[in-house]
Amino acid sequence: MQGLSDFIPTDKKVEYLDKLLQVGFDTLDFGSFVSPKAVPQMKDTANIVSKLDLSNSKTKLLAIIANLRGAKEASSFEQIQYLGYPMSISETFQQKNTNMSIVDSLGELVGIGEICQQQGKGLVVYISMAFGNPYGDQYNAKIVTQFADVLATLGASVSSLADTVGIATPNEIKDLFIAVKEMSDKVEWGVHLHATDENANAKIEAALAAGCKRIDGAILGFGGCPMADNKLVGNINTRKILEIANKQNLSTGLDINTFNEAELMASSIFNG
């Protein structure tokens, strides 16, 4: 939702999120505690938390934060289990996304990790631009694995390789995931992929072939990163992930009927 210019009423967001909470997802990225000037669509996240119906849901709530201020605010809510922090290996993108250098962001991450530990929250770190970047910043797989090692040391409970602008190939996804997974067994490794309809299936299959059990998706494949200054490539469509999992006889444990209802609601929200 963050990239939509027209503000979605809080109650409409709550209705949609409540439906998603009944599908059975492991984790729901429901909002963010970031500057309302930077992302106006997320300015009501704190209000949304108190309105969600979590009584019959096992889904964990994840809130995106971009600095210590956001971490302190998000961690004050008992309902939120995960704080998600985008940590880019592209200097240009880190500046665009958090208005900080990579070095400063790593320092910020240390403090965020301490807050998570004190408040009993899980720290989810997204390695943004993990498969390259459009800015010409230095990139190779070794840089990614070095970052992965640092994140494990800093106490990340979950870390996802993010194909922020959708340029990863299936082979790159498979090889890099295997490489970071070997760095630490204390971290739950995942992928946050962006793709077109034409290459989404191949990317999902590559992640699964590498042993990935945590794949981020978005209903209808809606999304993209508004901070990337690049033509937006949508998030992986959740339905495609479920279809491939079904073909491979992988159990997701999701309520498909409720998922279908959520998909219909998303069509209304995102288109109008």
Residues 12-27: what's their mean pLDDT? 97
Where are the chain's structural domains?
A: 10-271
The answer to whether residue 155 scores a pLDDT higher than 90 is no
Q: Bigger pLDDT: 47 or 221?
A: 47
Name the strand (E) or helix (H) holding 29: strand 27-33
State pLDDT tens for residues 165-218: 899 999 999 999 999 998 888 899 999 999 988 899 999 999 999 999 999 999
The answer to whether residue 223 scores a pLDDT higher than 80 is no
The answer to whether residue 232 scores a pLDDT higher than 70 is no
pLDDT of residue 16: 96
Is pTM beyond 0.85? Reply is yes
Residues 115-138: what's their mean pLDDT? 96
Residues with Cβ within 8 Å of 150's Cβ and at least 6 positions away in sequence, in order, are: 106
CATH 3.40.50.880 corresponds to the domain 10-271: no
| pLDDT confidence bin for 231, thresholds 50/70/90 | low
Task: Give, in order, the Cα–Cα distances in Å from 174 to each of 88, 155, 241.
Answer: 20, 24, 16
Give the rounded distance of the alpha carbon of 240 from its chain centre: 17
Task: Give, in order, the Cα–Cα distances in Å from 37 to each of 4, 72, 142, 272.
Answer: 14, 19, 36, 23
Tokens representing 64 are: 């995106």
